[in-house]
């Protein structure tokens, strides 16, 4: 059966409370280094992702998995996903975090698709190298981040034969803007920076994911 709607969620700060990269950095005493890379204005987003992944070289997949498991879901995350599923939505994560984390969250929520950066692992350890899906290079998106969310929203909608007007996108930072602006309904959830506040007229300022449904369909 063809699905007529699709929802794409950012992961960090949207489906889960907090950010995996910060949680890892805190735990392994790399916070200053991560912050210094992220504040590097001349470095494009995808270059920052590469530099941050290199900092994690030597950590084990177990280190990653236990850190991921310690990050709680956002309030009413499961209920929101269930309500969208009842409506026949295809649902997925488009994240500039890592597949190992996004896959874990997607499994727990039983989602339909996942797009994220893939950390290269050798003998159970992170090598420091990362495979980035990119996408902005193909469609000329300004974002230049490791996962162009607009490109992957369009690709997922195509894959599930959902018209782009019937898509919902939810995110909380400027890395979500290109996706939010392209989606039929684009929502800034608990926005963390001025850029995304300015880019979206649909904003949820309460830490309750169920509130995004107010913008989707009054019947919720």
Residue identified by tokens 């190992």 is 100
Report if residue 91 touches Zn ion, rule: CB under 5 A: no
Of 56 and 186, nearer to Zn ion (C-beta) is 186
Q: How many residues does the chain have?
A: 220
Report if residue 212 touches Zn ion, rule: CB under 5 A: no
Report if residue 152 touches Zn ion, rule: CB under 5 A: no
Q: Provide the token pair at 149.
A: 């969310």
Report if residue 148 touches Zn ion, rule: CB under 5 A: yes
Which one of residues 89, 136, 160, 189 is an interface residue with Zn ion (CB under 5 A)?
A: 136
- Stretch touching Zn ion by CB under 5 A, among 88-96, 101-109, 162-170, 177-185: 177-185
Report if residue 8 touches Zn ion, rule: CB under 5 A: no
Tell me how crowded residue 97 is: count the other CB atoms within 10 A of its CB.
23
- Stretch touching Zn ion by CB under 5 A, among 72-80, 87-95, 124-132, 136-144: 136-144
- The CA distance from 167 to 153, in Å, is 8
Report if residue 153 touches Zn ion, rule: CB under 5 A: no
Of 30 and 94, nearer to Zn ion (C-beta) is 94
135: left (phi over 0), alpha (psi -120 to 50) or beta: left
Which one of residues 24, 130, 178, 196 is an interface residue with Zn ion (CB under 5 A)?
A: 178
Among 70, 112, 78, which Cα is nearest to 94's?
112
Residue identified by tokens 């916070």 is 31
**Helix (H) / strand (E) containing 35:** helix 31-38
Q: DSSP secondary-structure letter at 124? A: T
Q: Measured from the CB of residue 172, what is the shortest distance to Zn ion in angstroms?
A: 16
User: Which residues contact Zn ion by CB under 5 A?
Assistant: 136, 141, 143, 148, 150, 178
């Amino acid at each position: 059966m063809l699905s007529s709607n699709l929802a794409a969620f950012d992961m960090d700060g949207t489906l889960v409370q907090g950010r995996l990269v910060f949680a890892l950095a805190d735990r392994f005493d790399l916070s200053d280094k991560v912050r210094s890379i992220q504040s590097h204005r001349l470095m494009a987003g995808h270059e920052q992702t590469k530099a941050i992944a290199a900092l994690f070289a030597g950590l084990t997949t177990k280190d990653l998995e236990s850190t991921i498991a310690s990050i709680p879901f956002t309030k009413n995350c499961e209920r929101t996903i269930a309500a969208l599923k009842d409506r026949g939505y295809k649902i997925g994560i488009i994240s500039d975090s890592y597949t190992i984390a996004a896959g874990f969250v997607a499994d727990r929520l039983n989602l339909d698709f996942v797009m994220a950066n893939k950390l290269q692992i050798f003998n159970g350890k992170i090598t420091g190298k990362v495979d980035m899906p990119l996408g902005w290079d193909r469609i000329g998106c300004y974002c230049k981040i490791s996962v162009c969310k607009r490109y992957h929203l369009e690709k997922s909608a195509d894959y599930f034969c959902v018209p782009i007007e019937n898509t919902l996108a939810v995110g909380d930072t400027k890395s979500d803007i290109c996706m939010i602006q392209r989606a039929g309904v684009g929502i800034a959830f608990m926005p963390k920076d001025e850029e995304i506040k300015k880019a979206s007229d649909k904003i949820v300022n309460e830490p309750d994911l169920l509130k995004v449904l107010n913008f989707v369909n009054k019947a919720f």
